[in-house]
Amino acid sequence: MVHRSVNPPQRGWSLTAPPPLWAELEQHLFRDDDDEHGAVILAGLAYGPRGPRLLARELLLAEDGIDYVAGTTGYRALRPEFVRDAALRARTEKLAYLAVHNHFGTTSANFSPVDFASHERGYPALRKITKQLVGALVLTPQAAAGDLWLPDGTRHLLAEVTVPGGSLVRLTPAPTTVETSDTRHDRQARLFGDRGQQAFGRMRAAVVGLGGVGSIATELLARLGVGHLVLIDADTIDETNLPRLVAAEPDDVGRLKTELAVRNARRANPDIELTVVTENVQHPDALRALVGCDWIFLAADTNAARHWVDRTVHQYLIPATQAGVKVPVDEHGTVGRIHVAVRQLVPGRGCMWCNKLISPTELALDMLPDRVREQARYVDGVPAPSVIALNSLAAGEAVNHFMLAVTGLHTDNGEHSRLLFPRSGEHVLQRSRQTANCLTCSPAGILAQGDAPAVAER
Ligand SMILES: [Zn+2]
Ligand SMILES: [Zn+2]
């Protein structure tokens, strides 16, 4: 069941690029020679509350002097054979075709009259060949503009380019205006700036799992000023949950966890918009709600939740943070190495399969109907320990990461995962591993395919 309190205004066309692809493009375009360079991006497409989103899947670099040559009317142009090959791939793979070049300047980007004239000469025919969206992108180091030609004959400007890495980069054609933050958020805005505070207000974040970690994350996100939360959990509250759920009362036993989360989010911010899904994350309603988000917090510790959130991260280029706590206690009551894990799931970097964080056996069990699953689990019934103070470490670390990423305050690339060991005080940073041609996180698989995955699924 999905409730939508308000229909959000439709946002304009945007392009989202996986951080590895974008880094390669920037390196190609912005060199010490201060010259113009070219490339083509092939992109998937997704429709949703964030407006129509192009999802950069493949980058074809045009080599100077061979693929990117002196133009007959403009300064330089992509060689016709290069365009033809790229266009045929776009047609075969059902991807949008975007020609990219750079201009000089910093905080604003505009096509020149010569650029526009070449689009008008070339794109109607190219659109007929590819039967897909075609267009162009012009970049400066801090700005992006796009001219999009749709198969239905309409033409649109690109509103924004997003690169969802450890720093959430957003490029627009020109600097955007910023409203002064409300008094309530004054102390935060002194850290994030009005621009940062406004960015939270315009974001839609999902919390998957509203138990010990998710309950605290919801409270933090709502108080931080995130404008829209998507709350996903199918469970009801039992008596053993009461010590760990924010503001839970004895009367809440038997109520849905989403109900308590809604109450807390509204108390923290009466203006917040909420989408509530009382289903497990693999339910189609939950998946549909997830793909409309700017960020996902994974606070449910099943293999099914990991798998479906991980897929969404790579297929739709939506960043996610997994937050969890492990408290190992053996059958003699001996307490092992307690650890708090906060992992960054960065689109196009190694996925949870690449990092061996999903067990195929456990995933298969999670996907069975409830009753069958209980029978299939041979050893069952001993609940894992769970404590609010440990959960708060995980939730706090996850939301802090998000807040620094959105406001560009990480001092490194922000893509590290972090393991904390409260018993010894140690902590470890981990880099994500990636296997070649992974079916989840690379262009050999579902990366950036959006609404129309054409490649074999895992
Ligand atoms: Zn140009
Ligand atoms: Zn992978």
pLDDT at 376: 65
pLDDT, mean of residues 188-205: 94
Point out the ligand nearest to the CA of residue 447. Answer: 2
Rounded Cα distance, 122 and 419, in Å:
52
Ligand 1 centroid, distance to 85 Cα (angstroms): 22
Q: If you measure from the C-alpha of residue 318 to the centroid of ligand 2, how many angstroms do you get, rounded to a whole number?
A: 15
- Greater confidence, 377 or 412? 412
- Between 455 and 444, where is the model more confident? 444
Say if CB 300 and CB 311 are below 8 A apart: no
| Percent of the chain surpassing pLDDT 90 | 83
Cα(16)–Cα(57) distance, integer angstroms: 9
Query: What's the CA angle centered on 223, arms 221 and 225, to 5 degrees?
Result: 75
Average pLDDT over residues 407-425: 92
Q: Position of tokens 């999903």?
A: 358
**Cα 147 to averaged position of ligand 1 atoms, centre (Å):** 12
| Dist. CA 232 → ligand 1 center (Å) | 45
Ligand with the closest atom to the CA of 350: 2
pLDDT of 179: 87
Q: Which ligand is nearest to the CA of 436?
A: 2
418-427 tens-digit pLDDT: 999 999 999 9
Q: Specify the pLDDT at position 457.
A: 46
CA–chain centroid gap for 413, Å, is: 16
Q: For residues 414 and 405, is the Cβ–Cβ distance under 8 A?
A: yes
| Residue 54: pLDDT band with limits 50, 70, 90 | very high
CATH class of 2-171: alpha beta
| Residue 385 in this model has a pLDDT that exceeds 60 | yes
pLDDT for position 453: 65
User: What is the CATH number that goes with domain 183-430?
Assistant: 3.40.50.720
Q: What is the per-residue pLDDT for 374?
A: 67
The pLDDT value recorded for residue 92 is 95
- Tell which wins on pLDDT, 372 or 315: 315
Calculate how far, in angstroms, residue 68's C-alpha sits from the geometric centre of ligand 1: 13
37 CA distance to ligand 1 middle (Å): 10
Q: In this predicted structure, what is the pLDDT of residue 412?
A: 85
82 — pLDDT class (breaks 50, 70, 90): very high
Same fold, 2-171 and 183-430: no
How many A from CA of 351 to the centre of ligand 2? 4
Q: How confident is the prediction for the chain on average, in pLDDT?
A: 92
CA–centroid distance, residue 108 to ligand 1 (Å): 13
What is the torsional sign of CA 434, 438, 442, 444?
A: positive
Measured in Å, residue 94 CA sits from the centre of ligand 1 at 26
Average pLDDT over residues 230-238: 97
Residue 368 pLDDT greater than 90, yes or no: no
Cα–Cα distance, 384 to 455 (Å, whole number): 39
Average pLDDT over residues 78-93: 96
pLDDT at residue 128 is higher than 50: yes
Please write the tens of the pLDDT for every residue from 186-195.
999 999 999 9
Distance 317 CA to ligand 2 centre (A): 13
Give which of 236, 232, 238 is closest to 279, Cα–Cα. Answer: 232
pLDDT digits (tens, 9 = 90+) for 154-188: 999 999 999 999 899 999 999 988 988 889 899 99
Whole-number Å distance, alpha carbon 25 to ligand 2 midpoint, is 21
Ligand number nearest CA of 99 is: 1
Q: What is the pLDDT of residue 254?
A: 98
CA of residue 57 to ligand 2 center, whole Å: 15
Q: In what order do the strands lie in the sheet with 295-298?
A: 2-4, 273-277, 228-232, 204-208, 295-298, 320-326, 339-345, 417-421, 426-430
Please state which of the ranges 377-381, 389-393, 432-436 shows the lowest mean pLDDT.
377-381
Per-residue model confidence (pLDDT) at position 26: 97
Domain ranges, ordered by start, for the chain: 2-171, 183-430
| pLDDT tens-place string over residues 248-303 | 999 999 999 999 999 999 999 999 999 999 999 999 999 999 999 999 999 998 99
Contacts of 384 (CB under 8 A, 6+ apart): 326, 327
The predicted pLDDT at position 181 comes to 87
Cα of 173 to ligand 1 centre, how many Å?
14
